[in-house]
Structures are given as C-alpha cells and as structure tokens.
Chains A and B, each alone.
Chain A
Amino acid sequence: MDTLIFGGILATLLAVYRQASRTVVLGAWFVMLVAVILLMAHHITSSLALDLSY
C-alpha cells in the first residue's frame, strides 16, 4: 500500500507539472490525502494508554 501511495503522490506531482485541470489536480491530491489518512488509521491499533485524567 505504501508503495502504491508514493506512486500516486508522484503521479499527482506530474499532474501539477503538466498543468492538468484544477479538477484533476485537486481530485488526485485529495484521493492521496484520504489514502494516507486511511493508512495512518490502519497503523493506529491501540489507545495511547497515557493514563490521562482528561
């Protein structure tokens, strides 16, 4: 998954460089953002267990 996301980020940069339409650039960028957030959520598997009282 990480490899695919980095590939997608590279493709997003290419879309920026090649002056793709604003819709394409925004679409690609936010798809990548959501993918990274989901990847992060996958790796957050437990609470922090800091014993915070608030």
Chain B
Amino acid sequence: MTAYLLRRLPSLALVLAAASVLIFAVIRLVPGDPATALAGANATPEAVEAIRAELGLDRPWVTQYFAWLGGLLTFDPGRSYLIGGTIGSLITESLGNTLLLASSSLFLAVLTALVLGPLWAGTRKPWLEHLLTGINTLAVAVPTFVMGVALILLLGVLVPVLPSGGVPRDGLLANPSITVQYLLLPAVCLALPIGAVLTRYVAESLRTEMAQPYVVTALAAGVSRRRVLLRHALRNVLPTSLTVLGLQTGALLGGAVLVEFTFSWPGLGLLIERAITGRDYPVVQVLLILSVVVFAVLQLLTDVAHALLDPRVRLGGAR
C-alpha cells in the first residue's frame, strides 16, 4: 500500500501545481484588478498605479506567483486586499458559520426524514397522506430563495417571532438561545428541500420493505405493524438512505450560498461573492486552491479505498 501511495503522490503534486498556475493566471485574465476595484470610480490612473504598487501587483506575474506559492507552502497565504485581515482567520470564521448552518440544516433534514418518513409510510389515513404529499411536493418545488423570503415575511415580519436575518450582536457563542433563533429560519430554509427528498426516499423505501416476506411473516406472527416498521424495516432502509443523504449534502453546500445571502448569514458564500466582486486575488486564490485540494484528497482516498478492496489496483495489474 505504501508503494501504491508513493506512486500516486507525484501525480497529486502535479495536479495541485497545475491547478495553482491555472487559478493564478485565470483570475488575472478577468478584466479589472484589485487596484481598480479599491480605487473606485473617481480615482485617477496615478492613484490606481500607487495602489497597485502598494499591493505588489506591479511586480512580474512570475514573482507574484512564487511569492503566493511560498506563502501557501509556509501556511501563510497572506492578507485580504479588501478586508485587510489574514486569510486564515477570515476563512476560518466564515467556514465556521457555514458549517454551523449546514450541519444544523442537515440535522433538521435527517430528523424530518426519520420522523415523517415512517409516519408517511405507515399511515392509513388518506388525509394525512395527502397532506404529507402536498407539503413534500411544495418543499421540493419551491426554490430556496423564494422559501427564504416567504419565511422571512411570515415569521420575521408579519408575525415577528424570529429575526429575519443576520447574526447575534454578541457573536454566535455568547448566548446559545439567541443563536438558535437566528439560525432557525436559514437552517429550516436550507433543510426543507433536502429533508423533503430524504423523507420521500425513506417513505418509499419503507413501503417497499414492508412488502417483504419477512415483514408479512412478522405481522402474521402477531408483531405490531409499528414495531416492524420502526425496529426492522427502518433499520434496513437506513444504509441506502445514507447514500442519498450524502448526495444531498453536496446540494446543501451549494444552497448555503443562496441562503447566506438571503438571510445575511456571514459564511463562505458571502465571503466568496465579495472576494470575486472586489477582485480580492489572495482570498479567491486560496478558496479555489482549497477546493482543488479537498477534491484531490477525496479522489486519493477513494482510490486508496479501491486499492484496499482490489489488490490488482495497488499491485498495478490489469483491472
């Protein structure tokens, strides 16, 4: 396995090096640079040049590239042109906010699926079935940003029981009960489509499972339907539901960007948007290279898992 890993590492390094060059070059090919973005519409060309020199953007690209690469390799990716703070602290803070939102949404989605999935599969009341079907369809069909605005208008404006956006004045950690209230609307908004898909999947899988011979046998033996549903059928459905959940998690992170904007939640989505709009090269570069690293490492882990399961792969034999 070590030999296999050693064989893979050069290609990984090559991919990352190529990605770093590509990212560095592409962002500079987009019209408008940080100096013009910072200078504003009333600036003179001389002022722009002064800012460019201050940021080091007047140096040759090669020099800039190696300076950036050196920073990355020494875990000092530099400072944001726009915000001024270190990129590490900016990304850490924004990532923390996004992860909190995403994990809360995931929790709500899973909870919804675990409660409503079995209820939907087990009910024999047509009205309840229709109700659940209607709600489910609505949750999947209504776009996240529309749902967000609707939730804000309903619970933030018309019946103002929850904040309509933002984060607590004293930070997320100062008062958890306040934080929960700020988190609730964006988390629900983000959780709804995923929870709906997952709920429908669990319900449908349970229905299929409940037609299995072992269920018929158990019911004939006098085991209650509820017990069979929750103790046996649900357990059998969970592994495949996890796969669906995994697929939905990707969509959740994408949706988080929209939800962050709608609810003014200061996460990675807002940071990326601001960095791109302001041509904040250091921040954009680090965010993009990070995504490449994450993808490449995941790919490597998948290949390693594949190699562990199939000796032909790690031995370099025919597949």
A and B form one complex: no
